[in-house]
Amino acid sequence: MAMFFEGESHTFSEYLLVPGYSSSQNIPQNVSLRTPLVRFAKGEESPLTLNIPMTSAIMQSVSGPKLAVALAQQGGLSFIFGSQTPQDEADMVREVKASKAGFVVSAVNLTPNMTLEQVMELKAESGYSTMPVTDDGTAHGKLLGLVTTRDWRPSRDPLDKPVHAFMTPREKLIVASDETSLHDCNDMIWEHKLNALPIVDKEGCLVSIVFRKDYDSHKENPLELLDEHKRYLVGAGINTRDFAERVPLLVEAGADVLCIDSSEGYSEWQKITIDWIRERYGTDVKVGAGNVVDAEGFRYLADCGADFVKVGIGGGSICITREQKGIGRGQASALIDVCAERDKYFEETGIYVPVCSDGGIVYDYHMTLALAMGADFLMLGRYFARFDESPTRRLNVNGNYVKEYWGEGSARARNWQRYDLGGNKKGLSFVEGVDSYVPYAGSLKDGVDGSLAKVRSTMCNCGALDLEELRNKAKITLVSATSLVEGGAHDVILKDSTEANFR
């Protein structure tokens, strides 16, 4: 006879946090959201930590280089999507690692023989007003000059005027060597009243640019997630099919952590993948695994050597695995079960394996509930797909701005490796995801700041100043359907809707 879990399978919306005692120290600015990313032994610290408990999903429509940099600036981490060629994924990782904090690798570059018309087109496409001129038009060619909007006037200069005729030449530029610290570069910018300072190597080739505007940006982002070389941390997704080819390329490109991207992780294929990595790299290469939805699945992956374990099957907004295959579990129930097993595992072995809650987050308060239930950090897809920095198009649909968002199991992505169960067949037998839109939500920084402001405030209501304290002090209650109605605006006529009817 089948095994039956006791009770119902619950989602986050079925729970509320009950406030606890708050001291005068429980104010949002005192709250730390720092959390471990990978496994560590009792009495030690995790080799990798997040400054905020947020990672972006391993999805084509979410995690590209631009979002990876933006999220790292806020203290979180992106996992570059793996449903592309190993070389393309490695190139994306390399692009993020090249974006050293404060040192920007130029994305738009000119050659001396390009025309003003081409410069204007590039400015319109990219939005960049400062463009270096190199001998080969690449980001690391020999620096010949710099073009800014102060160097040309479209109302007077002919459109066929060559770049070399109006650029500021190399000999008139103030530059810094690639051995100059960011602090000294900023001092040079202020001393010489510059907007941009090119960084060059001993051969005179462009390495990067330091911008005056980024000085304020770094002051505004004290939680930036950086490695020892002041480069942004970035993760990458792998699968259980081509890991022997993909992993070496990602490691060489500088990926800080890997994650096996699979719809169901309680599988020998994950063990084979982890064993292969351990045999060749030991514990130097960190790799997460998943997804699972119960204690048994967590224990299996922890014993396999996973550095963290992802929890969640079928809870994503674009995922239809549950209705297609009838497998999964309510995200809250799955998370509570797995986190209890994580703590038990820690007591037995002295090894702490962080848990990532993947899916089921609809409202900001769900984040706090997931963390209170035991999640060390969250993986979010729909949430990040809404922002400017996600790699999808922004569209106007029926008068509303939206961004495209599709699942890895959709016909559009066709990420068969994520849903593969072995054998020789290479393709999706049926879809497990949909193609959709999500409401456009502006910049990532503004969105993350707003969401985490709520998380910090709720933690203060619970008397907690860090995530461990939140888990220990949280009081959580199930709510009825009637309570859910009571929790929102009810029995009133909202002004917005009334005013709309009068227009």
User: Which positions are annotated as active-site residues?
Assistant: 319, 418
Distance between CA atoms of residues 465 and 31, nearest Å: 4
Q: How many residues does the chain have?
A: 503
Prior bond of 424 cis (ω within 30°)? no
HEC string of 84-110 equals CCHHHHHHHHHHHHHCECCCECCCCCE
Six-digit token string for 378: 């969250």
Per-residue b/e over 432-456, b at no fewer than 16 CB within 10 Å? bbbebbbebbeebbebbeebbeebb
3-state helix, strand, coil in the chain (%, to 5): 35, 20, 45
Phi-psi region at 256: left, alpha or beta (left = phi > 0; alpha = psi -120 to 50): alpha
**Number of Cβ atoms within 10 Å of the Cβ of 476:** 14
Distance between CA atoms of residues 290 and 498, nearest Å: 48
Six-digit token string for 239: 């699968």
Distance between CA atoms of residues 463 and 24, nearest Å: 10
* Helical residues (DSSP H) of 99-226, grouped into ranges: 116-126, 163-166, 182-191, 212-220
